[in-house]
Amino acid sequence: MAPYRAVHSIDELRAAIAELGLPAVLKTTRLGYDGKGQRVLREPGDAEAAFAELAPHPLVLEAFVPFEKEISVVVARGLDGTVRAFDAAENVHRHHILHTSTVPADVPAGVEKHAAMLAKVIVVALDYVGVLGVEFFVIPGDRPTLMVNEIAPRVHNSGHWTEAVCLTDQFEQHIRAVAGWPLGDPRRMADVVMQNLIGDEVEMVPGGLDGDTQPHLYGKAEARPGRKMGHINRIVRG
């Protein structure tokens, strides 16, 4: 976990900046997603405007983590305590919104194994039943390390690729878990890239698609900028 300080006032924010240094990320502690509810502070002069924008919610200032990339693991725990993880995905964001999840992730095997183990530890520690997404920063170094970035207690955008190439996908797995059924086999049968369709990007369907690409549209009436309108899964021939 990144070092952080609770922030209730502009004075507390200034003190937190002095302690943690810059850059740092100011975040709300409620309802943040897709970059909403957070501001990156690069210099002391950024503090006031960012605080004004995000207050009066309770805030935290987090030290900036110099991560190399983000990976995520979707893990499931059944009512009987069985735990099964899907393969790790490598996530690329654009404008703070998930752009692509690529599987397999381009990380050393040891890193992927470690991520799966951490996701399983988390789902057991929470005594959670269902599907849960865990995002990790990969911190570069002689031996890359992992830092948990986000825990999402639900099916996860970075797990939508499982629909295309796994014997059991994350949606079926979640239903199996909460219905008290045995978890299904999460094996991945091919390589895959999931790409979100944000705003106008949804117009690439169906024109831009080939036979290895499966579109999923969410049926939202209006394609507003930054709005997740659907996603495509592109199966990579082995």
Site string for a second copy, 30-59 (x = CB under 8 A): ------------------------------
Write down the residue that tokens 């978890």 correspond to: 183
Q: Which is nearer to a second copy, 59 or 164 (CB)?
A: 164
Least Cβ distance, residue 235 to a second copy (angstroms): 6
Site string for a second copy, 175-214 (x = CB under 8 A): -x--x-xxxxx---xx---------------x--xxxx-x
**Which residue from 43, 52, 109, 237 is in contact with a second copy, where contact means CB under 8 A?**
237
Q: Which is nearer to a second copy, 27 or 234 (CB)?
A: 234
Site string for a second copy, 142-181 (x = CB under 8 A): ----------------------xx-xx---x---x--x-x
Residues near a second copy (CB under 8 A) are 164-165, 167-168, 172, 176, 179, 181-185, 189-190, 206, 209-212, 214, 235, 237
